[in-house]
Amino acid sequence: MYDKSDPRAQLSPAAKAGKPPTGLVAEHQIATFYDSAPQIEDASGKTWLLRGKNFIIAYSELVPGARLSRADQPDEYVLLLPEGGAAVSFAGTTTQIAGNSIAFLPPGETEITSDQGGVLIRMFTSKAADLLAQCANAGAYQRPRSHMPEFQPLPTPPDGHRVRHYTLDVPAKEGRFGRLFRCTTFMLNIIYPYQGPRDTTKMSPHTHDDFEQCSLLLEGAYMHHLRWPWTTDLSDWKEDVHLKVDGPSALVIPPPVIHTSRAIGAGRNQLVDVFCPPRADFNAKPGWVLNAADYPLPD
């Protein structure tokens, strides 16, 4: 359910067949990085880790000169730089990436260097077993999520894996939703910031049938509203949840939970939505994914 001015009102409704699915086992996952202990604290700084079914969010506050290395990374991962820049070393080449950018880093051996320090966010699939084991909610998916299919990445780009990076300085365009970028493993929507609270007459309660959404709050304050649908199995039913959080924090919303979020902070409110793998309905909208040419879809 979207306000008519919301570009997502253009999306085709998902086809529903048969009775509502049961076996939800669908608890939300939340981490408030501002008032909890980091999972990693070392010479490079502090890192908080939260997992979804297919992915890991690694939110870091780094000291100047910090180095973050991956020796045997199994697949492509995300580097989000909301503040300062960083340098990425891969295959004997160093790529300088400015602040206010998003980058997609290749599998294998990479090293990120942050001369200035500050906030840096990485996102990995759950194949990064070393990080998965350290997540605050590492055991949250021991019971299978039978209503979510197995993870399938997009095809490797025709020119192979390399460091790809893009500025977030992209002007808004009527009819396009947010700032969408994808790689083989992730899709991110860097939502344009709200200045002050959201108009409560234009909320957007909606649901996803078979994939999670992670809402990463970088700054400001939000209220997340969650409603579990009633299925034929009473054990699936849950009370509504209303979560007031500050930034930085992250919330993993399970399907098919009805959800909407509203900015409530007096100043700048910045939210990023994360999907792993990239969601098909956004992929299907011409012009919505800003780097679509670099990551062609399968035929």
pLDDT in tens, 57-103: 999 999 999 999 999 999 999 999 999 999 999 999 999 999 999 99
> Does residue 179 register a pLDDT over 60?
yes
Read off the DSSP letter of residue 282: H
The residue ranking higher by pLDDT, 240 or 235, is 240
Amino acid at 101: S
| The pLDDT of residue 2 is above 60 | no
- Which residue has better confidence, 6 or 74? 74
| Cβ-based neighbours of 230, under 8 Å, separated by 6 or more | 20, 236, 237
First and final CA of the chain: distance in angstroms? 30
Nearest to 240 by CA among 259, 214, 218, 268: 259
Band of residue 232 on the pLDDT scale cut at 50, 70, 90: confident
Cα–Cα distance list, 225 to 57, 262, 272, 290 (Å): 21, 8, 16, 29
Residue 241 CA to residue 100 CA, distance in Å, equals 33
Assigned CATH for 24-150+161-292: 2.60.120.10
pLDDT at residue 211, rounded to an integer: 95
Mean pLDDT, the chain, as a whole number? Answer: 94
What percent of the chain has pLDDT above 90?
87
Say whether pLDDT at 126 is over 60.
yes
Query: 122: which 2 tokens?
Result: 């990485």
Question: What residue type is assigned to position 81 of the chain?
Answer: L
**Is pLDDT of 250 > 90?**
yes
Contact present, 105 and 163 (Cβ < 8 Å): yes
Quick: pLDDT tens for 195-226. Answer: 999 999 999 999 999 999 999 999 999 999 99
Residue 227 has pLDDT above 70, yes or no: yes
Percent of the chain with pLDDT over 70: 94
Q: Report which of 239, 240, 245, 251 is spatially closest to residue 222, judged by C-alpha positions.
A: 245
Residue 121: both structure tokens together: 């966010």
Give residue 22's pLDDT: 74
The per-residue pLDDT for 20 is: 57
H or E segment to which residue 29 belongs = strand 29-32
Largest Cα–Cα distance of the chain, in whole Å?
57
Average pLDDT, integer, range 258-279: 97
| DSSP annotation of 270 | E
List, for residues 8-51, the tens digit of each pLDDT value.
776 766 555 555 567 787 899 999 999 999 999 999 999 999 99
pLDDT at 54 over 90: yes
